[in-house]
Each structure stands twice: as structure tokens, then as C-alpha cells.
Amino acid sequence: MKTSDAKGNYTTVDWRPSPDVIAQLGSSPEAQATVDQVDLYQREGVILIRGLFSDWVDRLRAGLQRNMDQSDDYAFPCDSVAPGGGGRFFDSYCNWHRIPEYAAFVSESPAACLAAQFMRSSRAQLFHEHVFCKEPGTQTATPWHHDLPYYCVDGRQNVSVYVSLDATPAETAVRFLAGSHRSSQLYFPRHFVDGSDYVQDDKTMASVTQLEASFREEDIRRFALEPGDALLFDFRTLHGTTDAPIKARRRAFSTRWLGDDMVYCERAGETSPPLEDLGVTPGAPMPESMFPTLWQGTAAS
């Protein structure tokens, strides 16, 4: 199978996990977030938790290295440096079931249990993982965007758990616009290679490209990151980076989680990941056969 668009959102392998892999998954171990942490996340749409996944850094780096070295053996490899630009800006997603270190993280780390608490959900369902690497010399900004309009899901109970795999100065780490998740306005997805908006025939969406200049300095959250630090952020929180040159390798491993109210939706244009033929109707939960629930509690915390 090969699907493609001009910007690299293609794959030569099936992104779907096999029923055997799904059947073998365990449930995420327990961990406890504090009330203050969950309140901060709900208010700001982002929270940094230092050292949360320090024990996972070596394994996730090893998995990401394979993902990058044989990128066409995995789903949706993408390079986003424009011709003539330096460095490398690699990302790839939907490979957690092919890469043992990623599969271990989703089911053996406390990510799912913590995701449920931050979403205030009774369960955490895995949407996918997404990995990033900017190599030294890269000067490609991650354009300001939020993730929900890229996705074929809708709802408010969601979270990305983004694990930093390298020491990253605040100048090149992802920044967030605090509180932006509480706006009902959705912005067109943007191509990472040049910041251009996706072509979407959706009159309800706006372009974020002209808006950046109006962001208030006091609302921007910047963090210098160490390996193992975790940023948890809402799919609706606006985020992006500057184009300051990357001086040392900067890798990250992110998992995207769905809570109780998240349902399948059909967007007016291309989605990313471009997941097709899910066999589900708009408004229905995402199928467990492809998007497993990895932590289930008795009630929302």
C-alpha cells in the first residue's frame, strides 16, 4: 500500500496494529498526579513534569534510531527541511506496534494512567505515537499550530504526552500559548516544511499564520528540557518553535491519548495521520481494534 501527498504524508506499510498485538497488550501501571498538577493542566492546556520518564530515555532513543535509520520500513516517515535547508527535521507516527520499545512504553509505562487523570477521564485510549528529531544545523521552525484539526477525532478530553529525549534549550524547544485550548476556534493544520496551511474546505476554521504577532508574551510558556522530562498538552493548545538553529540533536517521543468524550469525526480535507477505512461513523468512539484502551478506571478522577 502506498498513499501519498506532496509533503511526505505517505506510507509503504500498513499503519494498523494486528489483532495479535492488540490481544497481548497489558494495562498501564498506576501512578498518581496531584490535584494541583491536574488543575494547572486544565487551566493552561500544558504542564511540564520534570524527569517523569527518565527511565525510558535509552529505550525510546533506541526505537527512534531504528525508525529513522530504516524509515521506509515504518509508517509515515516525513522529512520537513525545504530544499537547500540545513540539518534534518524528521517525524513519523503510527508505529508503536512495530517498534518494541514504543510498544513497551504505551503499555508498561504509567503514561496511560496519568493521561486519564489529566484528561479527567475514566479511561485512556491510545490514538497513536508521534516521534520527532531535529538534527544539528536545522533552522526549520515548527509552525504554530494545534493538533486537533489535523486529527479525525473531536472532543475535549485528550492529551499528548511528549517525552523529551535530549537536553533542549528553551530557544529551540516547543513553546505553548497558555489557555488557547479553551477557545472554540479551530485553525487550519499547517505543513511543517514551510508553514503553509492545509487546503481545507472548512469555513469554520481560520488561519493561525497572521495571528502569531498578537500572542501576548505573558501567555507563552517556554521550557528548557532535559531527557525524560514530559510535556503534557491538550490537542487544542497552540504550540510551535522559533527557527533558531539547532545546535545539538533534539529528539522527542509523543503519545496521543483519547478520553471519554473523544469520537471519530470527518474533517473537510486531509487529516494527519491520514487514517482511512476505519469502518466507524462520525460521533462514534474510535474502534478498540486499532486504538486500544490501555488504562481503565472506575470513575473520572
Ligand X SMILES: O=C(O)CCC(=O)C(=O)O
When the beta carbons of 59 and 134 are compared against ligand X, the nearer one is 134
From CA 212, how far away is CA 194, in angstroms rounded?
15
CB under 8 Å to 24, separation ≥6 — which residues? Answer: none
* Cβ at position 107, least distance to ligand X in Å: 21
From CA 131, how far away is CA 95, in angstroms rounded?
9
Residue 53 contacts ligand X per CB under 6 A: no
What does DSSP say about strands 89-93 and 250-258: parallel, antiparallel, or unpaired? unpaired
Site for ligand X in 138-197 (CB under 6 A): 142, 147, 160, 162, 174
Print burial letters for 235-263: b (CB count within 10 Å at least 16), e (below 16). bbbbbbbeeeebeebbbbbbbbbbbbebb
The C-alpha cell of 202 is what? 472548512
Per-residue binding string, ligand X, 209-248, x by CB under 6 A, is: ------------------------------x-x-------
* Residue indicated by cell numbers 485512556: 124
Residue 132 contacts ligand X per CB under 6 A: yes
* Cβ at position 44, least distance to ligand X in Å: 16
Residue 252 contacts ligand X per CB under 6 A: yes
**Residues 228, 117, 45, 257, CA torsion sign:** positive
How many binding residues for ligand X (CB under 6 A)? 11
* Cβ at position 237, least distance to ligand X in Å: 9
Residues forming contacts to ligand X in the complex (CB under 6 A) are 130, 132, 142, 147, 160, 162, 174, 239, 241, 252, 254
